[in-house]
């Protein structure tokens, strides 16, 4: 299905639900035909017509719907071990286990929901084939061109919504392109004129030509064929092919392959001799490529070794010198958490949000967390506000990234629908996992909600088997929403009167997976919060953490409504939170919770219709009304249950009152309201002989705390209490740094000290 941008805008949540239900019903209905033979199949002429034109690629924005069908495991048996079958043997809604279809494409491929093409078997039977989850960076022509011979391992066959049929491939690893001369290619598909024993040199030349045209996939194919054609006598050529393939693989993001190739491209020094200058130069290139691949795989110490080798092979090499400088920064970041966050933040923008930094995970380890599964634990003491870890996204898709297509993903396994980056994230992840098997092993270690079967990624027919359904299950349990550039962007433009983080939502909508952070369990009142600077997740401590403590953070902000937030964690992640706030909510009387919810709704309305600006200040009557709401809401918190714990429903109103009194310059009132707001967020504030002390034990770090601290800071200063003003400012800065990762934008929001 493909709609234009206008259609895209008119599709509502209800439409998606209806679409999901319709597809689900169609899928269930189709099950009734399981095992049947397809009837009234379109013939070759129809398929030729269907796939006669390139495209569709019209101008404008396209909405595509991607249905994740009922899960089935990928094939793990090699083509040679499977029994060949022909198209007429296919049965509907059936996974043909133990069988393989050898097919040739004969149309011009099109990207509809998947990349599709017309295929024929060796007896001339025809059908349509749909390949899902392909690399979004590749054109349909690169993914499934005309005239290639493919093996579809253990194929699945199904009826389509348009009344036709298709061989549906959900796991890209189930489809293997067979190179010319492959033993499984039937005689009918062998070219009539075959140039037997094509010299490997010719493949190198075609690879280079493809590379020059930026067809890196084509180049990799040619170099691979060249390597297969190499004989003992082709010594140097073999190194050339590996070196060239390393480069093409680097550009395709296939870093593990690139590293292996670059290593295989190093010309060895013979026992007695020295390498000639030309070979040394070539080895410099090979080591340089190995270094780049190791860097991309975040093996910085190893990358440094390779770049050192470049310097040995080609002394004075400027590129290697530059790379070693870059690596040195990464090693500092990785080992000490030594980041220049201000520079990082300054450098990131809507067009530069994939940043070049290392991960710092040296202060944490994964351990058993009892009922919560595995968790992340501190390996050293960490002070409030300090860095716990910092990690680059394993995969991320930014909403802001220009694309001519928006995907809506409907997962029939989980009944979930999502739009935009979520779907594209899966395509990106599948690519990364398919071509980087070691990275795939790390990804597939993440929580999958009990998905079965759990296949470990292995290489079959030269391709890493990736279970795309499990990859999506893992993504659903582990992905985080993130802003397009940095978390503080929402805050610097937020209207304080609104309270909470709502206004930040418009800066969100991007989504990614951060692998190590994925081991962190949820707690509404966690000891850590995450912030984003570009694709770097920065996690800081909201209170002091001791060696051995579990790191927890909120997946979703409970805001005022505890029960709703518990439902959200239950629906999205399958658990009910047992943190201090939730335990208190559970111990509260249901009628108090109900009253709180009803009052919160009224308060929301009140705040919405009483937005404060210098021009429209609060009236005495509205302040009285707010105070009354406040008292009523406060009464829904039984102190025997909530003492010292955050009372989040009071947050927005507390904020409004601070602002109202601030506009009236009632400084003592502002201070009283600000202290009350901070106490409601669980901060234990004490002032003794003009010294501010803060107990963070039960604190709930959110934006309103920063505002409250700054209201107090300004009010104290206004009253000439400089020292207290300064202490509150420092407190606000610590909160800002904790919540947004770094301090750079604090001044932008609150002005210079």
Ligand X SMILES: C[S@@+](CC[C@H](N)C(=O)[O-])C[C@H]1O[C@@H](n2cnc3c(N)ncnc32)[C@H](O)[C@@H]1O
638 to 566, 592, 717: CA distances (angstroms): 20, 9, 35
- In whole angstroms, how close is the CB of 477 to ligand X at the nearest point? 5
Residue closer to ligand X by CB (options 462, 574) is 574
- In whole angstroms, how close is the CB of 429 to ligand X at the nearest point? 15
Q: What angle do CA 399, 551, 328 make, to 5 degrees?
A: 70
Residue closer to ligand X by CB (options 225, 523) is 523
Contact 6, 141 (CB under 8 A): no
Report 308-327 residues binding ligand X (CB under 6 A): none
Residue closer to ligand X by CB (options 265, 516) is 516
Of positions 58, 548, 574, 644, contacts ligand X by CB under 6 A? 574
Residue closer to ligand X by CB (options 244, 523) is 523
| Interaction pattern, residues 430-449, with ligand X; x per rule: CB under 6 A | -----------------x--
Residue closer to ligand X by CB (options 171, 543) is 543
Of positions 165, 532, 573, 745, contacts ligand X by CB under 6 A? 573
Residue closer to ligand X by CB (options 250, 396) is 396
| Interaction pattern, residues 447-486, with ligand X; x per rule: CB under 6 A | x-----------------------------xx--------
Residue closer to ligand X by CB (options 447, 595) is 447
Contact 211, 248 (CB under 8 A): yes
Sign of CA dihedral 144, 149, 155, 160: positive
Which of helix, strand or coil describes residue 530? Answer: strand
Report the alpha-carbon distance of residue 242 to residue 234 in Å, rounded.
Answer: 12
608 binds ligand X (CB under 6 A): no
519 binds ligand X (CB under 6 A): yes
- In whole angstroms, how close is the CB of 552 to ligand X at the nearest point? 7
Nearest partner of 709 among 731, 687, 693, judged by Cα: 731
488 to 304, 534, 565, 743: CA distances (angstroms): 34, 11, 23, 9
Report the alpha-carbon distance of residue 120 to residue 118 in Å, rounded.
Answer: 7
- In whole angstroms, how close is the CB of 578 to ligand X at the nearest point? 6
Residue closer to ligand X by CB (options 552, 738) is 552
Report 337-376 residues binding ligand X (CB under 6 A): 372-375
Contact 177, 150 (CB under 8 A): yes
Q: Which strands sit side by side in the sheet containing 62-68, from one edge to the other?
A: 2-3, 62-68, 405-411, 416-419
**Phi, psi of 554, rounded to the nearest 5 degrees:** -80, 135
Report the alpha-carbon distance of residue 704 to residue 453 in Å, rounded.
Answer: 45
575 binds ligand X (CB under 6 A): yes
Residue closer to ligand X by CB (options 353, 523) is 523
Part of the chain binding ligand X (CB under 6 A), chosen from 42-50, 126-134, 572-580, 737-745: 572-580
Contact 166, 156 (CB under 8 A): no
Part of the chain binding ligand X (CB under 6 A), chosen from 217-225, 567-575, 593-601, 689-697: 567-575
Contact 676, 638 (CB under 8 A): no
Residue closer to ligand X by CB (options 516, 674) is 516
- In whole angstroms, how close is the CB of 210 to ligand X at the nearest point? 41
**Phi, psi of 117, rounded to the nearest 5 degrees:** -155, 165
- In whole angstroms, how close is the CB of 375 to ligand X at the nearest point? 6
Report the alpha-carbon distance of residue 691 to residue 685 in Å, rounded.
Answer: 10
Part of the chain binding ligand X (CB under 6 A), chosen from 97-105, 516-524, 583-591, 685-693: 516-524
Burial of residue 151 (CB within 10 Å: 0-12, 13-18, 19+) is buried
- In whole angstroms, how close is the CB of 426 to ligand X at the nearest point? 17
- In whole angstroms, how close is the CB of 566 to ligand X at the nearest point? 10
Please count the residues of this chain forming the interface with ligand X, following the rule CB under 6 A: 16
Contact 526, 519 (CB under 8 A): no
Contact 574, 567 (CB under 8 A): no
- In whole angstroms, how close is the CB of 364 to ligand X at the nearest point? 13
- Give me the residue whose beta carbon is nearest to ligand X: 373
Report 206-235 residues binding ligand X (CB under 6 A): none
Report 138-167 residues binding ligand X (CB under 6 A): none
- In whole angstroms, how close is the CB of 395 to ligand X at the nearest point? 15
Which of helix, strand or coil describes residue 735? Answer: helix
711 binds ligand X (CB under 6 A): no
Q: What angle do CA 154, 158, 163 make, to 5 degrees?
A: 155
- In whole angstroms, how close is the CB of 667 to ligand X at the nearest point? 41
Part of the chain binding ligand X (CB under 6 A), chosen from 37-45, 386-394, 521-529, 664-672: 521-529
Residue closer to ligand X by CB (options 282, 389) is 389
Residue closer to ligand X by CB (options 224, 542) is 542
- 587 contacts: CB under 8 Å, gap ≥ 6: 641
Of positions 71, 108, 577, 715, contacts ligand X by CB under 6 A? 577
Residue closer to ligand X by CB (options 488, 525) is 525
Report 35-74 residues binding ligand X (CB under 6 A): none
Contact 299, 289 (CB under 8 A): no
Report the alpha-carbon distance of residue 55 to residue 677 in Å, rounded.
Answer: 58
Report the alpha-carbon distance of residue 61 to residue 550 in Å, rounded.
Answer: 45
- In whole angstroms, how close is the CB of 682 to ligand X at the nearest point? 18
| Interaction pattern, residues 523-562, with ligand X; x per rule: CB under 6 A | x---------------------------------------
Report the alpha-carbon distance of residue 443 to residue 514 in Å, rounded.
Answer: 10
- In whole angstroms, how close is the CB of 478 to ligand X at the nearest point? 5
Of positions 518, 525, 527, 667, contacts ligand X by CB under 6 A? 518
Nearest partner of 264 among 287, 280, 281, judged by Cα: 287
Contact 704, 499 (CB under 8 A): yes
- In whole angstroms, how close is the CB of 176 to ligand X at the nearest point? 32
- In whole angstroms, how close is the CB of 450 to ligand X at the nearest point? 9
Residue closer to ligand X by CB (options 307, 555) is 555
**Bridge partner list, 167:** 129, 157
Which of helix, strand or coil describes residue 673? Answer: helix
DSSP label at residue 171: S
Part of the chain binding ligand X (CB under 6 A), chosen from 53-61, 102-110, 297-305, 574-582: 574-582
- In whole angstroms, how close is the CB of 681 to ligand X at the nearest point? 20
> Could you give the dihedral angle defined by the CA atoms of residues 532, 535, 537 and 538, in that order, rounded to the nearest 10 degrees?
-60
Sign of CA dihedral 185, 145, 52, 94: positive
**Phi, psi of 84, rounded to the nearest 5 degrees:** -65, 150
> What distance separates the 2 farthest-apart alpha carbons in the chain?
96
Residue closer to ligand X by CB (options 360, 573) is 573
Part of the chain binding ligand X (CB under 6 A), chosen from 97-105, 399-407, 517-525, 698-706: 517-525
Enumerate binding residues for ligand X (CB under 6 A): 372-375, 447, 477-478, 518-519, 521-523, 573-575, 577
């Amino acid at each position: 299905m493909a709609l234009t941008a206008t259609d895209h805008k008119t599709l509502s949540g209800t439409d998606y639900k209806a679409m999901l239900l319709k597809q689900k019903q169609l899928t269930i209905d189709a099950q009734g035909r399981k095992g049947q033979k397809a009837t009234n199949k379109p013939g070759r002429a129809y398929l030729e017509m269907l796939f006669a034109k390139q495209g569709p690629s019209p101008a404008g924005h396209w909405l595509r719907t991607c249905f994740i069908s009922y899960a089935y495991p990928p094939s793990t048996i090699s083509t040679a071990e499977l029994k060949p079958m022909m198209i007429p043997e296919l049965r509907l809604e059936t996974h043909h286990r133990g069988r393989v279809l050898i097919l040739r494409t004969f149309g011009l491929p099109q990207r509809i929901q998947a990349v599709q093409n017309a295929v024929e078997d060796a007896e001339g039977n025809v059908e349509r084939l749909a390949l899902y989850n392909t690399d979004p960076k590749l054109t349909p022509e690169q993914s499934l061109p005309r005239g290639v011979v493919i093996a579809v391992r253990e194929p699945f066959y199904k009826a389509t919504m348009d009344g036709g049929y298709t061989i549906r491939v959900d796991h890209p690893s189930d489809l293997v392109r067979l190179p010319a001369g492959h033993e499984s290619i039937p005689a009918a598909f062998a070219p009539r004129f075959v140039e037997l024993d094509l010299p490997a040199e010719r493949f190198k030349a075609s690879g280079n030509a493809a590379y020059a045209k930026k067809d890196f996939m084509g180049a990799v194919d040619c170099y691979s064929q060249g390597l297969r054609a190499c004989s003992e006598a082709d010594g140097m050529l073999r190194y050339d092919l590996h070196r060239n393939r390393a480069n093409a693989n680097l550009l395709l993001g296939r870093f593990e392959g690139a590293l292996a190739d670059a290593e295989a491209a190093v010309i060895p020094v013979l026992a007695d001799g020295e390498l000639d200058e030309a070979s040394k130069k070539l080895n410099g290139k090979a080591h340089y490529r190995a270094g780049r691949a190791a860097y991309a795989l975040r093996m910085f110490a190893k990358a440094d070794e390779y770049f050192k080798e470049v310097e040995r092979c080609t002394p004075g090499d400027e590129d290697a010198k530059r790379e070693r400088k870059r690596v040195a920064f990464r090693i500092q970041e990785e080992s000490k958490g030594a980041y220049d966050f201000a520079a990082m933040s300054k450098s990131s923008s809507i067009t530069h949000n994939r940043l070049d930094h290392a991960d710092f995970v040296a202060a944490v380890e994964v351990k058993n967390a009892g009922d919560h599964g595995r968790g992340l634990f501190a390996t050293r003491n960490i002070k409030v506000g300090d860095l716990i870890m910092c990690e680059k996204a394993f995969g991320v898709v930014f909403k802001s990234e220009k694309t001519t297509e928006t995907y809506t993903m409907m997962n029939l396994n989980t009944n979930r629908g999502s739009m935009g980056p979520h779907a594209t994230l899966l395509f990106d992840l599948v690519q990364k996992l398919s071509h980087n098997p070691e990275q795939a092993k790390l990804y597939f270690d993440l929580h999958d909600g009990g998905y079965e079967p759990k296949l470990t990624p292995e290489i079959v027919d030269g391709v890493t088997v990736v279970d795309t359904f499990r990859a999506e299950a893992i993504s659903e349990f582990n992905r985080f929403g993130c802003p397009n550039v940095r978390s503080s962007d929402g805050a610097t433009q937020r209207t304080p009167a609104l309270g909470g983080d709502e206004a930040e939502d418009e800066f969100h909508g991007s989504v990614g997976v951060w692998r190590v952070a994925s081991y962190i369990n949820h707690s509404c009142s966690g000891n850590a919060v995450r912030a984003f600077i570009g694709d770097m997740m920065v996690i800081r401590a909201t209170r002091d953490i001791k060696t051995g403590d579990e790191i927890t953070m909120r997946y979703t902000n409970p805001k005022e409504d505890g029960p709703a937030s518990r439902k959200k964690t239950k629906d999205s992640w399958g658990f009910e939170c047992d943190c201090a706030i939730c335990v208190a909510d559970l111990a509260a009387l249901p009628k108090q919770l109900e009253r709180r919810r009803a009052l919160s709704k009224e308060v929301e309305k009140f705040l919405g219709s009483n937005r404060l600006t210098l021009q429209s200040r609060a009236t005495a009557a509205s302040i009285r009304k707010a105070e009354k709401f406040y008292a009523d809401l406060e009464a829904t918190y039984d102190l025997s249950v909530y003492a010292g714990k955050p009372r989040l429903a009071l947050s927005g109103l507390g904020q409004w009152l601070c602002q109202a009194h601030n506009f009236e310059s009632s400084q003592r009132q502002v201070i009283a309201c600000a202290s009350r707001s901070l106490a409601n967020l669980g901060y234990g504030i004490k002032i003794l002989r003009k010294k501010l002390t803060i107990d963070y034990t039960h604190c709930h770090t959110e934006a309103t705390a920063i505002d409250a601290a700054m209201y107090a800071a300004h009010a104290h200063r206004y009253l000439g209490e400089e020292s207290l003003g300064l202490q509150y400012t420092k407190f606000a800065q610590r909160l800002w740094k904790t919540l947004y990762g770094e301090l750079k934008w604090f001044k932008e929001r609150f002005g210079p000290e």
